[in-house]
């Protein structure tokens, strides 16, 4: 398992997210992917449209860490990431981006 996701998306069906203020579990179609913007690496976690409180919780967080699963098997465990961006996509998906 690597320390940072690559550019190829990793798809799972559940994720456990821990932040400095809360922890939550989300289920559904979830994607984790590395991205480079302005020469800086980011991990992007895309969650299905869900509780609006999740976005507020993630916006308030200073850092997050996540564990992505598919059918109970751990696919990826992130390092602690500083929250850099949270946004809603046009399809309602919640995207949280972080960097080490």
Domain-located, residue 43: yes
Domain-located, residue 83: yes
Domain-located, residue 1: no
Domain-located, residue 60: yes
Note down pLDDT in tens along the chain; length 100 residues: 445 567 789 999 999 999 999 999 999 999 999 888 788 889 999 998 777 788 888 889 999 999 999 999 999 999 999 999 998 888 889 999 999 8
E-state strands within 38-80: 40-47, 63-70, 73-77
* CATH number of 54's domain: 2.30.110.10
Domain range for 15 is 10-99
Handedness of CA 18, 54, 61, 92 (dihedral sign): positive
CB contact at 8 A, 68 and 10: yes
User: How far is the C-alpha of 12 from the C-alpha of 23, rounded, in Å?
Assistant: 18
Q: How many domains does the chain have?
A: 1
The encoded tokens of residue 9 equal 């998306």
Domain-located, residue 45: yes
Query: What pTM was estimated for this model as a whole?
Result: 0.87
């Amino acid at each position: 398992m690597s320390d940072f996701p690559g550019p190829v998306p990793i798809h799972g069906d559940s994720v456990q997210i821990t932040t400095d203020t809360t922890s939550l579990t989300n289920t559904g179609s979830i994607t984790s992917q590395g991205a480079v913007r302005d020469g800086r690496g980011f991990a992007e976690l895309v969650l299905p449209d869900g509780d609006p409180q999740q976005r507020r919780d993630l916006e308030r967080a200073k850092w997050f860490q996540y564990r992505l699963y598919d059918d109970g098997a751990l696919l990826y465990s992130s390092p602690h990431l500083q929250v850099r961006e949270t946004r809603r996509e046009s399809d309602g998906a919640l995207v949280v981006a972080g960097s080490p």
